């Protein structure tokens, strides 16, 4: 037929008639009657004739057939393999990395996760949606570093067992493969009931990165995955962790901060640079800081700052160590801020690490969580070999999509920052009355930026302590850290917790 000569209404009517014909053909009932031996089967009823094309373009299309109920996924048909995932996340929308209980199996804990969302909660939801795990408690899950509320991660690593496209094979098939010198293609572990599993090539494995990133929110992105051994632990197999803490110059003495940061390097007792949890009964507070340095940000991140003002010049603490205590980095940064404001001298670091001199943590507020990032987690190359694309050299889809999503996120947040900057500039450019001498009737107007500067210089009674992330604590007087009240020694606090626990247990027994 010459469809090119048809009008739009005629084409629409023809399509609808074909749609009706297809639906009636699918729903056509089987022939009635029964067929007995030796009898002639009844002829199939004649197919319905084509309905006449409707000239009314507004006539409703026939209803589509409703899909049937989805059948439960049978995990027992598929083998599992242990893998590690490297991923990033922006921490401020979440209440930390660690999930609040098993959100997949408990309705109560699921409600907690909705109220206090966590990065792991979103990750496990995506894993369940992709049918990669059955439960958080049965996948041998481990994480490298536990970050607090508001803290971000660029190179966080977790490990677990997930579904694979590999296949179960017989013992005889396994022996043939081993005899051929290909034993590395077979795994046999408790997660698969001891049955031999033939692993697929990386190109034929499930597209873990693509699958998860489609189910995760845009602020959480999977960057790479790696096959790992059954004994691998994201926490205990990690060789070092690398943190970065970002801050603007804003009148800070960077040289003094650099001098103080160097004193963190080496093996030291950091009990006065962390938050103590007596329930964990930690007795060893010695940690090894491999490097600690203050560096300019613009050399590594070209999108930050314009360098026209101190607020536009950004710096970062780069901290690498084998392991860290709870809130250790934020406590270390709080002391560096005090040094940078010349409220403390660099040797305060040495005094606080001397547990004979300072046997009890002085009272001070730790730095903000917002600028802190777990930038990377390092492993032995023999343990982890990261896979970022499905076919190296031939496929870059994962990296293209990753770059597009992160660029979009950066664009949105950068736009918000520019708008907030423009608003601040508008406020600073407002004409406001200058301070005048008492009794004077002359009022001069000037830019608020000049008035603000005059007010700050005149206010000698207020101390503004920088805490990072835009947070500033104001006080009438600054008390040096070494002169402040101190908590009880760690040993006494641990003992007190044990005594309370024993007393509570005895009370419950008596009841």
Is the predicted pLDDT of residue 78 greater than 70, yes or no? yes
Q: Name which of 101, 89, 98, 216 is nearest 156 in CA terms.
A: 89
The confidence score (pLDDT) of residue 270 equals 97
For residue 362, the model assigns a pLDDT of 95
Cα–Cα separations (whole angstroms), residue 85 to 143, 197, 442, 495: 10, 21, 68, 39
**pLDDT at residue 303, rounded to an integer:** 52
The HSE-up count of residue 148 (CA atoms within 13 Å, CB side) is 15
State whether residue 110 is helix, strand or coil.
helix
d(Cα 478, Cα 487) in Å, to the nearest integer? 19
Question: pLDDT of 4-39, one tens digit each?
Answer: 566 656 666 666 676 666 555 544 544 444 444 444
Q: Tell me, what's the pLDDT at 32?
A: 44
| Residue 26: per-residue pLDDT | 45
In this prediction, residue 307 has a pLDDT band, given cuts at 50, 70 and 90, of low
Q: Given this model, what pLDDT does residue 309 score?
A: 64
pLDDT at 348: 97
pLDDT at 294 over 70: yes
Average pLDDT for 330-354: 97
Question: CA 293 → CA 152, 157, 188, 261, 265, distances in Å?
Answer: 20, 24, 45, 6, 9
Judge whether residue 206 has pLDDT over 70.
yes
Tell me the longest C-alpha to C-alpha distance in the chain: 124
| pLDDT tens digits, one per residue of 345-374 | 999 999 999 999 999 999 999 999 999 999
Cβ(88)–Cβ(221) below 8 Å: yes
**483 secondary structure, DSSP code:** G
What local confidence, expressed as pLDDT, does residue 244 receive? 97
CA-nearest of 164, 206, 203, 209 to 187 is: 164
Question: Among residues of the chain, what percentage have pLDDT more than 90?
Answer: 55
258-272, 281-295, 314-328, 395-409, range with the lowest pLDDT: 395-409
Q: Which residue numbers are catalytic?
A: 148
The answer on pLDDT for 51 being more than 50 is no
How do residues 373-385 score in pLDDT, each as one tens digit? 999 999 999 999 9
- Beta strands 142-143; 314-321: pairing state: unpaired
pLDDT category at 509 given cuts 50, 70, 90 is confident
Let me know: does 171 contact 186? Beta carbons within 8 Å.
no
What residues have CB less than 8 Å from 351, skipping those under 6 apart? 357, 358, 482
Whether residue 398 has pLDDT greater than 90:
no
Tens digits of per-residue pLDDT, 251-291?
Answer: 899 999 999 999 999 999 999 999 998 888 999 999 999 99
CA-to-CA distance for 264 and 328, rounded, in angstroms? Answer: 11
Asked whether the beta carbons of 408 and 218 are under 8 A apart, the reply is yes
Determine the pLDDT at residue 424: 85
H helical segments located in 266-396:
328-340, 348-353
Select from 361, 356, 355 the least CA-distant residue to 269.
Answer: 355
The pLDDT score that the predictor gives to residue 484 is: 94
The confidence score (pLDDT) of residue 37 equals: 43
Q: How high is the pLDDT of residue 401? A: 87
Contact status, residue 38 vs residue 97, Cβ threshold 8 Å: no
**Distance, CA of 176 to chain centre:** 43
DSSP state, residue 316:
E
> Are 260 and 339 within 8 A, CB to CB?
yes
Instruction: Specify whether the CB–CB gap between 90 and 96 falls below 8 A.
Output: no
State the pTM of this model: 0.79
Structure tokens at 228: 């790992």
Question: To the nearest whole number, what is the mean pLDDT of the chain?
Answer: 84
* The pLDDT of residue 57: 46
């Amino acid at each position: 037929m010459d469809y090119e000569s048809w009008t739009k209404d005629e084409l629409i009517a023809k399509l609808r008639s074909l749609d009706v014909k297809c639906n009636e053909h699918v729903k056509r009932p089987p022939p009635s009657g029964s067929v007995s031996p030796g009898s002639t089967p009844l002829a199939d009823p004649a197919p319905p004739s084509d309905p006449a094309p409707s000239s009314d373009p507004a006539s409703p299309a026939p209803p589509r057939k409703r899909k049937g109920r989805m059948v439960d996924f049978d995990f027992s048909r598929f083998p599992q393999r242990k893998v590690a995932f490297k991923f990033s996340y922006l921490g401020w929308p979440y209440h930390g990395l660690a999930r609040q209980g098993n959100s997949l199996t408990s309705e109560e804990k699921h409600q907690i996760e909705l109220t206090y969302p966590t990065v792991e909660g979103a990750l496990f939801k995506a894993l369940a949606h992709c049918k990669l795990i059955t439960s958080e408690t049965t996948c041998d899950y481990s994480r490298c570093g536990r970050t607090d509320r508001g803290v971000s991660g660029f190179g966080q690593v977790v490990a677990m067992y997930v579904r694979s496209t590999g296949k179960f094979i017989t013992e005889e098939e396994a022996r043939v493969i081993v005899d051929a010198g290909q034993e590395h293609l077979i795994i046999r572990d408790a997660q698969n009931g001891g049955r031999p599993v033939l692993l697929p090539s990386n190109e034929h494995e499930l597209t873990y990165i693509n699958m998860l990133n489609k189910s995760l929110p845009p602020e959480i992105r999977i960057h790479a995955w790696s096959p790992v051994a059954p004994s691998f632990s994201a926490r205990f197999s990690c060789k070092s962790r690398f943190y970065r803490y970002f801050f603007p110059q804003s009148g800070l003495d960077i040289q003094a901060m650099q001098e103080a940061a160097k004193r963190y390097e080496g093996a030291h007792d950091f009990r006065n640079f962390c938050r103590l949890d007596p329930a964990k009964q930690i007795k060893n507070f010695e940690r090894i800081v491999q490097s600690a340095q203050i560096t300019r940000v613009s050399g590594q991140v070209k999108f930050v700052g314009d360098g026209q003002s101190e607020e536009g010049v950004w710096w970062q603490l780069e901290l690498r160590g084998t392991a860290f205590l709870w809130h250790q980095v934020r406590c270390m940064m709080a002391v560096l801020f005090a040094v940078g404001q010349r409220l403390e001298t660099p040797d305060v670091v040495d005094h606080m690490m001397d547990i004979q001199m300072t046997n009890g943590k002085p009272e001070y507020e730790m730095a903000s969580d917002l600028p802190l990032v777990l930038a990377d987690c390092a492993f032995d190359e023999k343990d982890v070999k990261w896979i970022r694309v499905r076919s190296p050299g031939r496929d870059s889809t994962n990296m293209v999509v990753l770059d597009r999503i992160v660029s979009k996120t950066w664009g949105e947040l950068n736009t918000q920052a520019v708008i907030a900057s423009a608003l601040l500039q508008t406020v600073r450019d407002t004409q406001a009355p200058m301070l005048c001498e008492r009794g004077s009737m002359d009022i001069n107007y000037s830019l608020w930026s000049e008035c603000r500067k005059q007010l700050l210089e005149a206010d000698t009674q207020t101390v503004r302590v920088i805490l990072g992330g835009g947070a500033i604590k104001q006080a009438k007087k600054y008390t040096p850290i070494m002169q402040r009240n101190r908590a009880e020694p760690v040993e006494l606090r641990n003992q007190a917790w044990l005594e309370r626990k024993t007393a509570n247990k005895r009370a419950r027994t008596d009841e």
